Amino acid sequence: MTTGFFFDERCFWHGGGNYALTLPVGDLVQPLAAGGLPESPETKRRLKNLMDVTGLTGELEVRSAQPATREALERIHPASLLDQFKEMSDAGGGEIGLRTPFGKGGYEIAALSAGIATDAIRAVASGDLQNAYALSRPPGHHCLPDWPNGFCLLANIAIAIETVKSEGRANRVAVLDWDVHHGNGTEAIYYDRDDVLTISLHQEKNYPLDTGDTSDRGKGDGLGHNINVPLPPGAGHTTYLHAMEKIVLPALADFKPDMIIVACGFDAAAFDPLSRMMATADTFRQMTKQVMGAAQTLCDGKLVLVHEGGYSEAYVPFCGHAVIEELSGSAITAEDPMALSLATRQPNARVQAFFAELVDEMADFFAKPPQGG
């Protein structure tokens, strides 16, 4: 079966507001030449451009989607928030939540982003496609039910999960978030539920500053169904793969999901302005290979990657291309121009051993019955 690729040009038209990186432009902060937040359309558009140039796009089932319906949005978000968002959007835009600016039509674009994730997940859950990549924008994994946050206006993945669950296409869903920032929104939505496993690999205390601890395991029915893997800055390629092998894959095997969804951020990559993790395009390729193996064993290969962060316009396209090559089994490649340099810059053996010890300690912690209520 074919790999799907879901995107829409209109998602690239979402505006980032009057920011310089994550700082509001003001008396002491000058606008950047590029303007706006680092969450710009260019990383995503340049990924699609690279795929077109190499020919990879031609090997995929390319689709767009309809915006998520109001009914679908209200499965996660209160009507009051959606009404406020729509009113501001119709009036020309503004900012709702924290670091979530948008322009006129921002509501419709965010609903389309959620719809792209939903259609990708529905197509795989129904068996129409083997797996898929959703190039959603704006992203969603920081968005709480009643509070947009960190570039994320709607909770794309949660909206999609609840839609396919309402249609009877899936019961147990695992969400693996390897964006460099903690997936606090997805965690919050499913924190007290046992039908969705949430796993977040992230740079420790990057964003948000006060979430993402290993001790946060869920509550009530959800106790033990939330796993946070905070990694120290500079962790690099080997540490990510070790964390996948020791923590993520065993957790997926224990949960036995009907399908696996990856919140696929590329901001753990070297050169990203919002992280210090030293991952490479091959790191993302190898993690994709690992999770594909798990999906094949556990849920007939049903796997969807939904785009989240990643802010290096030059390097994100190579990371995304490597992932989609692996996902589709394509022989088409886009050679990473920084591969040799980044291999040289990885942590030395002593530092890698220290990081491995930290991961092993976390694995031992997660292997024990969770405490709490």
Catalytic residues: 142
Contact 40, 273 (CB under 8 A): no
Distance between CA 97 and CA 148 in Å, rounded? 5
At 357, which amino acid appears?
Answer: E
Question: What's 66's DSSP letter?
Answer: P
Rounded to the nearest 5°, which phi and psi values hold at 262? Answer: -110, 125
The 3-state DSSP class for residue 120 equals helix
Residue ranges with strand state E in 3-126: 3-6, 19-20, 23-24, 61-63, 93-95, 101-103
At 46, which amino acid appears?
Answer: R
Distance between CA 75 and CA 92 in Å, rounded? 26
Give the length of the chain: 373
CA angle 329, 3, 157 (to 5 degrees): 120
| Conformation bin of residue 21: beta by default, left when phi > 0, alpha when psi is -120 to 50 | left
Contact 152, 143 (CB under 8 A): yes
Position of tokens 């886009």?
334
